[in-house]
Amino acid sequence: MLSQDQNRALTEVGAGTPMGELLRRYWMPVAAVAELDDHPTKPVRLLGEDLVLYKDEAGNYGLVDRHCPHRRADLSYGWVEQRGLRCHYHGWLWDHTGRCLRQPFEETAHPDSRFKDRVRIKSYAVESKGGLLWAYLGPPPAPLVPTWEPFTWQNGFVQIVFSEVPCNWFQCQENSIDPVHFEWLHSNWSRAMSRADGDRSPTHLKIGFEEFEYGFIYRRILEGQSEQDELWTVGRCCLWPNCLFTGGHFEWRVPIDDANMLSVGWFFDRVPNDMEPFKQDRIPYWTSPIKDSLTDRWITSHVMNQDFVAWVGQGTVADRTQEHLGESDRGVIMMRRRILEDAERVVRGGEPKGVIRDPEKNRCIRLPIIGRDFFVNGSSRVESETSRQRTPGLLLRKEFPFLTGQPEEVRAAYRRAMGLPEPGVDARSPAG
């Protein structure tokens, strides 16, 4: 059981708090590259700070204070120019380094004044990688945006999915090291909701946890499996400090503030060999709703929606003084201890876990990946249907199981990429 102070230390993300400072040592995904191509400004709230992300006409990404330093107008209503973001209130122009480039009436009234050199806007670094835009809110020098191995894979259909979840980020990240929940929150609960008869899902016989350079690995043995299966030999990743990596997808739990979290999912589906080569010009993105507007209840139909229900159910900030932890929570306990130590280390001026500064190393950061050979080399359609069945997550998916509300155009693009028949068309029936 934790004290109130420990609970606060794990959950508060504002500047100057130990966890807020720890999180500011890492790049956070905040938008999709294609999103800014569709609309060049986006309001972003990150780690309790209100900001505006933009892409100017020269292609520079900026992340600046939401409020104009002149008289505080909301810059998410500004417009981008060749260089910088123009405030819609009196036309002051700001660039991505925080400089004021133009002050129209001041320049007319006092052509010789250097007023604009004396005002700056708060600005942060932005980089693109893997179809995502990443922000760094920490002190210089910024580390490198990790080139996680899946970002280098070819012949995959990638999609990015956002959801805003109204609870603290850390209870979401605790789920990244909680293998047993899968059996109950996903398998058995889905069965209970659909009133499925017959076999229940295989139960967990054994779980294991181990720290590695970029986080923790968790392993499991399910009924019918052994220590020879990849769920045990390879395992899955709780990626430092705020991500789950399953092999085929990432889920970042990005802290908006103490009470809200932006879930950023990055999903890779390998196309069957007969559909190669496959290349995406643009990685699609969409936002998944989390509440059913008719019933005003959380949506429970998809895997990550089920996770969201568990997390918001713990309260806006889970009260860890009231818990009763058991054997299934060993990983959660290890992770809490480690992240509090890391936060202390940052307070003392040290570098926390998993920060990458070596460009050579960052050409491709390898992670434990169940079915790596499949993701890299693919497989034939027949193999996809059969030999991959033993390992959860490797099946050729006909529908997107993780989040509700996939737009029809993304679904159609996925089916084309995979060589699946158009919905409603029976693959065996003759064409025409």
Sites for ligand FES among residues 275-334 (CB under 6 A): none
Cβ partners under 8 Å of residue 63, min gap 6: 30, 44, 51, 52, 53, 54, 96, 123, 124, 125, 126, 135
Amino acid at residue number 263 = S
User: Looking at 88-203, which runs of residues are DSSP E strands?
Assistant: 93-94, 100-102, 123-129, 132-136, 156-165
Residue with Cβ nearer ligand FES (92 or 157): 92
Q: Name the residue nearer to Fe ion (CB basis): 103 or 306.
A: 306
Which one of ligand FES, Fe ion, none is in contact with 388 (Cβ closer than 5 to 8 A by kind)? none
Amino acid identity for residue 295 in this structure: T
Q: Which of ligand FES, Fe ion, none has residue 307 at its interface (CB below 5 to 8 Å by kind)?
A: Fe ion
Q: Can you give the C-alpha Rg of the chain in angstroms?
A: 23
Q: Which residues ranging from 307 to 366 are in contact with Fe ion (CB under 5 A)? A: 307
Selection from Fe ion, ligand FES, none that 178 binds (CB < 5 to 8 A by kind) is none
By beta carbon distance, the residue nearest Fe ion is: 307
Report the site for ligand FES in 51-80 (rule: CB under 6 A).
68, 70-71, 73
90 binds ligand FES (CB under 6 A): yes
Q: What minimum distance in Å lies between the beta carbon of 121 and ligand FES?
A: 10
For the bound state, the minimum distance from the C-beta of residue 223 to Fe ion, rounded and expressed in Å, comes to 19
Least separation in angstroms between CB 68 and ligand FES: 3
For Fe ion, the closer CB: 125 or 254 = 254
Residue 71 interacting entry, from ligand FES, Fe ion, none, C-beta within 5 to 8 Å by type: ligand FES
Based on the shown chain and the rule CB under 6 A, indicate whether residue 87 belongs to the binding site for ligand FES.
yes
Residue with tokens 């993304």: 410
Position of tokens 């990688």? 129
Angstrom distance (rounded) from CA 309 to CA 312: 5
Coil/strand/helix, residue 230:
helix
Strand partners, 54: 41, 62
Cβ burial 211-244 (10 Å sphere, 16+ → b, else e): ebebbbbbbbbbeebeeebbbbebbbbbbbbbbb
Toward Fe ion, which CB reaches closer, 35 or 174? 174
Considering only the stretches 9-17, 108-116, 210-218, 299-307, report the one whose residues sit in contact with Fe ion under the rule CB under 5 A.
Answer: 299-307
Count CA within 13 A, CB hemisphere, residue 279: 2
Q: Which stretch binds ligand FES (CB under 6 A): 44-52, 87-95, 342-350, 412-420?
A: 87-95
Residue carrying structure tokens 């604009």: 116
Give 85 or 339: the residue with its C-beta nearer to ligand FES.
Answer: 85
Report how far residue 390's alpha carbon sits from residue 411's, in angstroms, rounded to the nearest whole number.
26
Q: How far apart are the C-alpha atoms of 300 and 227, rounded to whole Å?
A: 33
CA quadruple 396, 397, 398, 403: dihedral, nearest 10: -170
Q: Applying CB under 6 A, which of residues 26, 54, 61, 92 lies at the interface with ligand FES?
A: 92
Could you say which of Fe ion, ligand FES, none residue 110 binds, taking C-beta under 5 to 8 angstroms by partner kind?
none
Residues that bind ligand FES (CB under 6 A): 68, 70-71, 73, 87, 89-92
Residues that bind Fe ion (CB under 5 A): 307
